Structure 1
Amino acid sequence: MEISEIIKYLSDSKEIIGLGLWAVTFVVYAENGLFFAFFLPGDYLLFLTGVFVGTGFLKYTIATVLLYLFVAAVLGSLTGFLFGRFFGSTLENRPDRWYFKKKHIESTHDFFEKYGNQALIISRFLPYIRTFAPILAGISKMNYPKYLFLNVSGATLWVGSLVGGGYFFGVQFPWIINYVHYVILFFLAITTFTVIKGYLNIKKS
């Protein structure tokens, strides 16, 4: 299988959810802290997982799903933090590759400059920034207890709101399962708008 085909498959949230909760858990873990996994779906994967649980297509209790994905988000970001703390300088000097873009580090740095420590919580809801924020926190040698608090707080809000929201829609409006593609397009539109707006604000400043 070509690399482009692997990336396309891993970016398909329906395919990932179809593999089961362990696959979703791994993707959430990777996207939250492994710099080469920034392209993986995050927001709409969580939302659709909640929808699939609410409609009964994913045979797990909502409590189990929330626990797995919360732990994955916390451990993923912790991995990124520790990587940044011990190997950050290597990453900053790494040339661009298909799996790594230095511009993501730079935009994350600007994001930290604007929002400070709160960036670790806000970044949970932003693609790319979500992956590189823990790494940058590690590079800057952020106080560990403070980082752990922000990490847990951000994971709670991110997983709780998106999975919980998806579950609510799945239970109340089970027909939404027939419009999964529109849900993905909706999240992609929000993501694209957020990234472009952030880029323009940074460029302006």
Structure 2
Amino acid sequence: MEQFSTMFLSFIDTWGYVAVAVLMGLENACIPIPSELILGFAGYLISAGRMEFFHATVAGMIGGMVGSIVTYYVGSHGGRPFIDRYGKYFFMKKSHVDTAQRWFDKYGVKAVFFSRILPVVRTFISLPAGFARVNMKKFIIYTFLGSLPWTMFILYIGWLLGDNWKSMLAVGHEASLIVATLIVLICLFYFIRYKRNKKRL
């Protein structure tokens, strides 16, 4: 993995936003490339003045959305039997697919939103959504809304850490929990605000 990581970083260093989009697309297509590696390094390049935060966010989101949609269609057209038989050739672990399936079975299409900030599940949740052939419009909206805070957060942390951006690779799961907590707090804030405004009317 170390050898591949060096290759990925060199790719981003040379091709910039295009590389970020391509790698995030692969990551969301269930290829095991840590988004912390891609976006963390992009964040470092932002701190070095070689990228812009907005453009890096757009590149990451475009790649992530395309990869998620492709994976959705693989799931919807191939089904679980296809993934069980051929997934191993694309580095898809059955245990990871099972975990994503449990989340989807429990929370339905809403899992597409919440799982985008969770380790492992965020990459594989598109498959069970495809298996179930959920409404494509809902899938795209939930994927976008769930992926945006994660993409921006990791870019921002890489930007803040600068030369020390690699330290986030060791705390990837903890980063997911931080983002999840922030989103829950923000949702709670707006829910309480909505209730208070409704009472005043």
Report the TM-score range of the alignment, normalised by the length of the smaller protein: 0.7 to 0.9
**How much identity, in percent, do the aligned residues show?**
21
RMSD: 2.8
Runs of 4+ residues deviating >6 angstroms: none
Considering Cα pairs closer than 8 Å and 6+ residues apart, tell me whether 1 or 2 has the greater RCO.
1
Identify the match of residue 19 of structure 1 among 11, 14, 17: 14
In structure 2, relative to structure 1, the CA distance for the partners of 1:114 and 1:89 (3 Å cut) is closer
2:111 aligned with 1:140, yes or no?
no
Structure with the higher helix share, 1 or 2: 2
Deviation at 1:139, TM superposition (A): 0.6
Segments of 5+ residues of structure 1 without an aligned counterpart are 1-6, 170-175, 194-205
Letter of the structure 1 residue corresponding to residue 61 of structure 2: F
8 Å CA contact 1:53, 1:60 repeated in 2: yes
Give the whole-Å Cα distance in 2 for the aligned partners of 1:86 and 1:126.
26
Deviation at 1:20, TM superposition (A): 3.2
Aligned length: 175
Segments of 5+ residues of structure 2 without an aligned counterpart are 178-201
Q: TM-score, normalised by structure 1?
A: 0.72
In structure 2, relative to structure 1, the CA distance for the partners of 1:47 and 1:10 (3 Å cut) is same
Deviation at 1:103, TM superposition (A): 1.3
Give the whole-Å Cα distance in 2 for the aligned partners of 1:47 and 1:123.
20
> 1:179: which partner in 2?
164
> 2:148: which partner in 1?
156
8 Å CA contact 2:44, 2:163 repeated in 1: no
Deviation at 1:97, TM superposition (A): 3.4
Letter of the structure 1 residue corresponding to residue 171 of structure 2: F
Identify the match of residue 47 of structure 1 among 40, 46, 51: 40
Q: TM-score, normalised by structure 2?
A: 0.73
Give the whole-Å Cα distance in 1 for the aligned partners of 2:175 and 2:156.
19
8 Å CA contact 2:117, 2:147 repeated in 1: no
